[in-house]
Structure 1
Amino acid sequence: MTDIATKHAETDELEARIDIPVVTEALLGTWADIRREAREMIKDSAFWRIEGQAIPEHRERTLSQLHLLVKAGANSRANPKEYGGQENQGGNLAGFEELVAADPSLQIKSGVQWGLFGSAILQLGTKPHHDKWLRDASDMVLPGAFAMTETGHGSDVQAIGTTATYDAETGEFVVNTPFRGAWKDYLGNAAQHAKAATVFAQLVTGGVNYGVHCFLVPIRDDDGAFLPGVGGEDDGPKGGLNGVDNGRLHFDHVRVPRENLLNRYGDVAEDGAYSSPIASPGRRFFTMLGALVQGRVSLDGAATWGSALAMTIAVTYGNQRRQFDNDGAGETVLLDYGRHQRRLMPRLATVYAQAFAHDELLQKFDAVFSGAADTDDNRQDLETLAAALKPLSTWNALDIVQEAREACGGAGFLAENRLTGLRSDLDVYVTFEGDNNVLLQLVGKRLLGDYAKQFAGKPADVARLVAGQTAGRIYNGAGLRRLGQAVTDFGSTARSVELGLRADHQHELLAARVEQMVADVAAKLRPAAKMSPAESAAVFNENQNDLIAAARAHAELLQWEAFTDALDRIDDEDSRMVLTWVRDLFGLQLIETHLAWYLITGRLSAQRAAAVSSYIDRLCSRLRPHAQDLVDAFAYEPEHVRAPIASGAERDRQEEAAQYYADLAASGSAPQKEPKPKKR
């Protein structure tokens, strides 16, 4: 995409430059080869979203694209080899994430078919289920829906109302939605295309409810008609992703064979006796849900690469579009304006941080699901990491795409330039596969649990901890830390930057915030252990916002650390130098966002806090000559971008206009400017 030479690049020959292929390799990560393979495949226009296409046609186009994925062999990377797969768990998700550049509806519909429906069969079923359904699900012979969410219970899966009651006389489960709120809702493929569904229901046998389990339930015949006892509705037009046929399903005492229970974690014998390899109902439930964590993992990646696409469009346009003549010196390139840099460069840094953090998440996912490191602890770590990163990347995606749209002015609002459609499609990512606030609450609870474990059975340590916290509050809250900073800075903002905002200080500030926030919440919740359940719940509710804020701070720290780890793997010195500036920009914008906290807690002096914003401005200016290189390193080609304003057309218009005025001036026929009025 690099076609324009900025004045900065021309006048600063000694400036380090990134080696674009080296940085691309780092960004594409562990499964770079599969990402490239997927990108090469979606150069075919048959995979592209048609802007403004009517919903019925969009749905059928997306369905046809899934069949194209089957023909290309992109459908079964995760499956065991005996079922035509490659047993490549991380590569499978990496490949599907890349589909967001073709059409987010395609990425999500393929995720429903293979990442949810097919994965439920693979991860929750056993060999008889794999033999019976896995190949058909992979090859689109058996299109399916993933029927977990209910109208009345979204993220609260444990409380779903659908039941599957075992009838020992017939050897069948009776699947029933006893009230309207128990209807399965928002299900991809459910409105039209699915022939079967993996239905989550309360398993009841012998009069005992053994909690949520998963059943494969046929829902339509080959002609597309609902089977007896099955009904449903179309969810209709949505705010985005209208190539996916979301719908509702309900069941009126639908009977399925006992063998349709996906029984890896719980089984029912012919006589109705229940058995499970996991005795604890709670642990069993979370183990089953954890087996499907890949949905959250893939959303983190897709949101990140969708954001990278938006940044590519906005930065390329900003590097070519000129606006406002500066005293006859000619119109200025948008990205030369300080405000434009401030809008785009920190968000570009965020995309980089997310890309590096996501690759670490993919590695952990692959290690667990390949069996290479499948332990309970590793599964819990994976679930916590996915629950931490997915909220940040999906929230950030909406902010990044919206700012990119605004930075492109009216051109960004045209559907042909993709930003409005991308913003609409990514909107729902923040609430499906787990509402972001609920996910961060899970992370917060894990942080509290780990915090408590440090002092379990160690009263002396607890006493020392309390004393340490008190000392910390005196040191920070009384301003002693701030005073020390002010003395060190000698009244020099530049010196405070050099002394107090380097990498180790960034890490100290980010980590200290997490530690203090978790400790504060733990202290507030400690009395709840001796209260009644109702009183305890009330105390937790009072501190819920603080807990979620601590979890978010933890996730931000993880992204910063992932970025820093990635720097250590880059051998090219110039590339590492520039990316270090990008990492610093990411870290300092996080600190700037929470400056009030750092000032209130005494961790930054007012002078050094002011230096944070000043240094961000300096970094934006320093990185401006590298902006195009940094987005070019995402390695999107014209077939992936498909936005006219990022195609070079704007550069051509600017050059045509400049040539016109130059020729006009040379001809001597240019009209003279209106003279300025004389001063009296």
Structure 2
Amino acid sequence: MTDAAVRSRKPSLSKRTPAGGAPTAAHTADEAAEPRIDVDAVTDLLLGTWAATRREAREMIKDPAFWRVEGMPMPEHRERVLTQLHLLVENGASGRALPKEYGGLDDNGANLAGFQELVLADPSLQIKSGVQWGLFGSAIHQLGTKKHHDRWLTAVTNMELPGAFAMTETGHGSDVAAIATTATYDPATEEFVIHTPFRGAWKDYLGNAALHGKAATVFAQLITGGVNYGVHCFFVPLRDDDGAFLPGIGGEDDGPKGGLNGIDNGRLHFDHVRVPRENLLNRYGDVAADGTYSSEIPSPGRRFFTMLGALVQGRVSLDGAATTGTALALHIALTYANQRRQFDSGAGSDEVVLLDYGKHQRRLLPLLAQNYAQFFSHDELLRKFDGVFSGRTDTSEEREDLETLAAALKPLSTWNALDTIQECREACGGQGFLAENRMVGLHQDLDVYATFEGDNNVLLQLVGKRLLSDYATQFKGADAAKLARYAVEHTAGKVFHGAGLRQLGQAVADFGSTARSVELGLRAEQQHELLAGRVEQMVADVAAALRPASKLDPAEAAALFNAHQVELIEAARAHGELLQWEAFSDGVKAIADDGTRQVLTWLRDLFGLHLVEKHLAWYMINGRLSAQRAASVTRYIDRLCARLRPHAQDLVDAYGFAPEHVRAPIASGAEIARQTEAREYYAALAAAGQLPPSEKTLKKK
């Protein structure tokens, strides 16, 4: 909703400036005579492949019973979220991923798409449901076999069996291979003995552990016949029907956290707790009655990563939920900015709408472009996930690609969520700091997304290692001629000129205008060359620096790797940004409507150039951009922001949020009502001749 009712309908260009220097801009594309986006069609694009499921979930959470209540004490919040999980069961939202024989839909993509939307209701609900069905239930489903499915899946789905996912330990977070909890097989009783040998081995930060969990999927080092066969997963009962811990099991409540206080996170420890041999979730590794270990995957390393890869959906979910949470913050901030007025021109003119200020456009519109890119890249990730988990494309190569893609995108979306929500909060001033307008709560709840389901820097290191591995395969068996040709094609000079920007800088006069030349030199092809070229050179530089490691002893090789860890992680981050840009570009190409395609092309360009500007120092140091071209990047971003300003409301309306999803008074129309009241008040005084003249006016006379 904009304040069109109190503005002139005369089209106004964003570059017009009235007396006094305050900008005026068209608030809608209609006023600016610009191409219009088809809002409904863009909503379909953003909702993606599983749009129907997302709409179904959004319709369900219009019920206030699902909403976060600001300021609710932690105990009440925990019980409310537990009740909400039962409501999800009643609404048929808990079993989409299950095989049809267990009452599910056998639709993995729809399952994650539906759960991600719960972030609009209460992030605690989204994460607790993820613990119950995406971690605890999924461990049984993905790591267990039919006997486990028959025994537990239905009870997990209908909340008869709430559970915890006990992987992380106080002493080992992302380094799962080094966890210290043990599961030692006793052939005399055909039982595993689960034990946490010291305090650092306690399972920690576990949702459902403090209060509600009746069982847990516990990850431990499997030891049989005196041999440690690495990390495996076990089903371990925790509590009796009265909620008391079973013998040998203890724990603590993690207490209040920085956010997500509707989830009962806690710690668990085990003192020689015995569970039957059948409680080993044995899809990838089994122990016979006599203690003999067997696995279809002979390599311990590959077996470990296969088991963890089966649980990649947590990262996929966080990428999607962070993207949707970020969209909510942008919807609130940009809607408010399109209505809130602050400061006049100094010449007695109307106060200026916040989004008419260049700085306000610059701080929010590139973040809007980033968020759109995330929607497109997330849908690609979700499609790949669904292909693997449905079995349609379930190969070792596809699983590795899925793991790498999730590890590349989850860090970018979760970090961006925190940066964007904070910027949106500040852009709304004091209103943004009020809990009722949701920015503060969103930031608190999404803060931990950057470190759980894999610390972001650790995940990017995984991506970086994959990039190095792929880079190295180019040279296996390569002859001298091939290596020489590769070297010639990848010199800095060749890449510099290949981007076409030096030539452009030298021939600006030929185009007749600097602005026109900038557009011709920074469109899609050049953006892709800059972004892809950066990834290629960064990976090549790290690979060259690490080449001596093969001739060093292990300690020296580790030290060399550590010395270049930062560059490796930055290369992985650049790779993730390239993936997002490519996904956005693919999405734009598929748009049929001319106006929609034009506006989203501008938005894609803003995203691409925002990335280039963010790394301008690298591009200049490495000879990819001259100083003149670097300055042109910034100028073009300013032009794009002004061009997109009239489309801002359409672009956030296209998120498809209903008032029940937004629930922020400053984005509800309350601000425009206040502005209208104020303007009518002063207009009435002026009409009645009762408006006192200002001191400045009298002095001019």
Give the secondary structure class of the aligned counterpart of 1:86: coil
2:606 to 552, 575, 585: 585
Aligned to 2:433: 413
The answer to whether structure 1 residue 626 and structure 2 residue 641 are counterparts is no
Displacement of 1:675 in angstroms is 3.9
Aligned to 2:47: 28
Distance 1:163 1:355 in 2: 41
Change (3 A) 1:83 1:10: closer
Distance 1:548 1:242 in 2: 32
The answer to whether structure 1 residue 503 and structure 2 residue 531 are counterparts is no
Displacement of 1:2 in angstroms is 5.6
Give the secondary structure class of the aligned counterpart of 1:484: helix
Change (3 A) 1:587 1:387: same
Distance 1:546 1:17 in 2: 42
Please tell me the residue identity of whatever aligns with 1:136: A
2:588 to 567, 571, 586: 567
Aligned to 1:188: 207
The answer to whether structure 1 residue 524 and structure 2 residue 541 are counterparts is no
Distance 2:481 2:262 in 1: 57
Please tell me the residue identity of whatever aligns with 2:560: V
Does the 8 Å CA contact 1:493/1:608 hold for their aligned counterparts?
no
Displacement of 1:458 in angstroms is 1.0
Displacement of 1:633 in angstroms is 0.2
Distance 1:439 1:678 in 2: 66
Deviations 1:100-137 (A, max 9, x none): 00000000000000000000000000000000000001
Distance 2:95 2:507 in 1: 60
Please tell me the residue identity of whatever aligns with 1:524: A
2:348 to 311, 328, 336: 328
Aligned to 1:595: 616
Please tell me the residue identity of whatever aligns with 1:640: H
**Mapping for residues 604-623 of structure 1, pairs under 5 Å:** 604-623=625-644
Displacement of 1:673 in angstroms is 1.2
Aligned to 1:368: 388
Deviations 1:632-676 (A, max 9, x none): 000000000000000000000000011011111111112121146
Change (3 A) 1:60 1:331: same
The answer to whether structure 1 residue 393 and structure 2 residue 420 are counterparts is no
Displacement of 1:189 in angstroms is 0.5
TM-score where L is the length of structure 1:
0.98
Deviations 1:20-47 (A, max 9, x none): 0010000000000000000000000000
Aligned to 1:226: 245
Displacement of 1:495 in angstroms is 4.0
Aligned to 1:123: 142
The answer to whether structure 1 residue 550 and structure 2 residue 550 are counterparts is no
Aligned to 1:447: 467
The answer to whether structure 1 residue 358 and structure 2 residue 378 are counterparts is yes
Residue-pair matches, total? 679
Change (3 A) 1:662 1:2: closer
Displacement of 1:225 in angstroms is 0.5
Does the 8 Å CA contact 1:325/1:332 hold for their aligned counterparts?
yes
Distance 2:696 2:579 in 1: 60
Give the secondary structure class of the aligned counterpart of 1:325: coil
Please tell me the residue identity of whatever aligns with 1:457: G
Gapped regions of structure 1 (runs ≥ 5): none
Change (3 A) 1:532 1:477: farther
Please tell me the residue identity of whatever aligns with 2:118: L
Give the secondary structure class of the aligned counterpart of 1:262: coil
**Mapping for residues 468-547 of structure 1, pairs under 5 Å:** 468=488, 472-475=491-494, 483-490=502-509, 493-547=514-568
Please tell me the residue identity of whatever aligns with 2:388: V
Displacement of 1:536 in angstroms is 0.6
2:358 to 321, 335, 338: 338
Displacement of 1:496 in angstroms is 3.5
Does the 8 Å CA contact 1:476/1:482 hold for their aligned counterparts?
no
Does the 8 Å CA contact 1:477/1:600 hold for their aligned counterparts?
no
Give the secondary structure class of the aligned counterpart of 1:58: helix
Change (3 A) 1:389 1:675: closer
Does the 8 Å CA contact 2:102/2:153 hold for their aligned counterparts?
yes
Aligned to 1:263: 282
Distance 1:566 1:292 in 2: 28
Displacement of 1:14 in angstroms is 2.9
Change (3 A) 1:543 1:171: same
1:173 to 192, 210, 213: 192
Displacement of 1:488 in angstroms is 2.5
Give the secondary structure class of the aligned counterpart of 1:596: helix
Does the 8 Å CA contact 1:481/1:604 hold for their aligned counterparts?
no
Q: Quote the sequence identity (%).
A: 73
Please tell me the residue identity of whatever aligns with 1:304: T
1:286 to 305, 308, 315: 305
Please tell me the residue identity of whatever aligns with 2:293: Y
2:68 to 14, 39, 49: 49
Displacement of 1:295 in angstroms is 0.0
Does the 8 Å CA contact 2:251/2:266 hold for their aligned counterparts?
yes
Distance 1:10 1:457 in 2: 57
Please tell me the residue identity of whatever aligns with 2:369: A
Distance 2:321 2:92 in 1: 20
Does the 8 Å CA contact 1:475/1:481 hold for their aligned counterparts?
no
Please tell me the residue identity of whatever aligns with 1:497: V
The answer to whether structure 1 residue 296 and structure 2 residue 320 are counterparts is no
Deviations 1:494-533 (A, max 9, x none): 2431231011000000000000000000000011011111
**Mapping for residues 660-671 of structure 1, pairs under 5 Å:** 660-671=681-692
**Mapping for residues 128-147 of structure 1, pairs under 5 Å:** 128-147=147-166
Displacement of 1:474 in angstroms is 4.5
Displacement of 1:468 in angstroms is 2.0
Gapped regions of structure 2 (runs ≥ 5): 8-24
Displacement of 1:180 in angstroms is 0.5
Backbone CA RMSD of aligned residues = 1.7
Give the secondary structure class of the aligned counterpart of 1:330: coil
Instruction: Select between 414-423 and 456-465 the one with higher mean Cα deviation.
Output: 456-465
Does the 8 Å CA contact 2:495/2:533 hold for their aligned counterparts?
no
Does the 8 Å CA contact 1:4/1:320 hold for their aligned counterparts?
no
Does the 8 Å CA contact 2:381/2:405 hold for their aligned counterparts?
yes
Does the 8 Å CA contact 2:196/2:270 hold for their aligned counterparts?
yes
Distance 2:29 2:152 in 1: 61
Give the secondary structure class of the aligned counterpart of 1:232: strand
Distance 2:343 2:359 in 1: 14
Distance 2:497 2:341 in 1: 51
Give the secondary structure class of the aligned counterpart of 1:30: coil
Distance 1:667 1:431 in 2: 61
Displacement of 1:446 in angstroms is 0.3
Change (3 A) 1:480 1:258: closer
Displacement of 1:467 in angstroms is 3.0
Does the 8 Å CA contact 1:61/1:243 hold for their aligned counterparts?
yes
Distance 1:462 1:236 in 2: 60
Please tell me the residue identity of whatever aligns with 1:600: I
Change (3 A) 1:110 1:386: same
Displacement of 1:454 in angstroms is 1.2
Displacement of 1:493 in angstroms is 3.1
Displacement of 1:541 in angstroms is 0.4
Please tell me the residue identity of whatever aligns with 2:122: D
Does the 8 Å CA contact 1:164/1:174 hold for their aligned counterparts?
yes
Deviations 1:579-601 (A, max 9, x none): 00000000000000000111111
